[in-house]
Structure 1
Amino acid sequence: MGARVVRMFRNFNLENRVHRELSKEKPLAAPRHAVKSPASGGSSEAVEADSLNKKNDPLLSLLRSVYVESTDPAAAAAASAEVPKEVTVGNEVERRPLKFSLPGGPYGLVELTDVPKGKLTITEALKAMGGHQREPQTWTPEKIAQEYSLDLKDTKALLEFFIPFQVHIIPPKTDGAKQIKAS
C-alpha cells in the first residue's frame, strides 16, 4: 500500500515539471583553450620544423648500411643440449605406426595410421594407463615409454598425475539412506 502512495507523489504533476526543466536555458560550454597559430615563415621555429620533416640523405644511406644479427641466448643453450625433443629426418618428424585404434572411425574422423614419436593418441594413452592401473608390475613406466617411443620422465608424470576411471563411493551420512551396491 505504501508503494502506491509513494508512486502517486512521485508521478504527481510530472508533465509540468518536465516541461519546466526542458524550457530552462541550457548551460554554455566552457571556452576552448587558446592555441597559438603557427609561426610565420621567417621564424626559427618554422626552420626547425622544416629540418625535422625533411629527408637527410647522408643519414639515410648510413642507416641502410647497418646490419644487425641477434640470437637468443636461451635458444642457443637449448640447441646445444644433447637430447632433442623430436627426432627429425630432413624436414619431416620421425613417425611410428599406431599400436591401437578405435574400430569404425569414431565421431566420423579420419583414422590415423601413424603418429610422431614422443606423442600418443587418446586411445593409446587410455590403453597404456588402463594397463598400468590393472597390472602395475607388468606395465611399468619404462615398458610404456619403450612401447610407445616416449620420454621416461613424461611417461612417469603422465601415470602419476593423470588418473582415468577412478571411482570414489562416498558413504551416506545417515544409516537409513539407500546406497548403490558395488558388484
Structure 2
Amino acid sequence: MMHRDAPPIDRRMLILSGAALAGSGLAAPAAAAEATATGPLADIPLVPPRTEFVYEAVVEIAPLVPLGDSPLGERRMVPITGGRFQGPRLRGIVLPGGADRQLVRKDGVRRLDALYELRTEDGAILTVRNQVTIDPGRDGGPDSRFSTIDVTAPEGPHAWLNRLVLVGTLHSLRPAQEAVLVRAFRLA
C-alpha cells in the first residue's frame, strides 16, 4: 500500500522508464511482466507497455547559438539544417529550418524542445515536436536521453502517425558528423 506522504507517480517518467527497459532488452517478457497489485486496484493486472520501432532520423545541426541566462537556467538554440529518416513504413528527408531550443537547468539537466519538418518520399510533410530530457547522471553514472515525440501528418497515407504515442532516444553523432540520431518508438 502506498504511504499517504509519498510523492505521486510521474506518469511521463514511468512511461519513459518502461520504454527504456523495453528498448534495452531488460524488460521481462509480456506474460511475465504482469504483476500482482495490492490495494484497491488489485483486480487489475499491471501490464507495462511494449515498444515498436517506427523510424530513425539523422538530424543535421548547425553550431549552438547562446540565448543567455534566465532564472531557470542557460537558454540556447541549435538550428536544424537537414538530414534523412527511415523506418519500416516511411522514409524521406529532414527539412532545413527547424530548431532545437534548449534549457540547461542549474542542476545540469538539459531540456530540449525541437520543432522541425520531415518530407516523405511521396511528398507528405510531417511536423515533429521532440521534447527531450537529458539527465547527466549522478556519481559518474551514464546519462539518460529520452523523449516524447509528437508527429502531425496530413490526411492520407501517413495519417496513421497521428494516432501514435511515441517515445524516443537521442544520440550525438559527433565528432564524425554534426548531427544527432533520433529513434522513435510506438508505445503499444
**Which structure carries more strand by proportion?**
2
Q: What is the TM-score of this pair, normalised by structure 1?
A: 0.21
Q: What is the TM-score of this pair, normalised by structure 2?
A: 0.20
Higher gyration radius (CA): 1
> Quick one: higher RCO (CA 8 Å, sep 6+), 1 or 2?
2
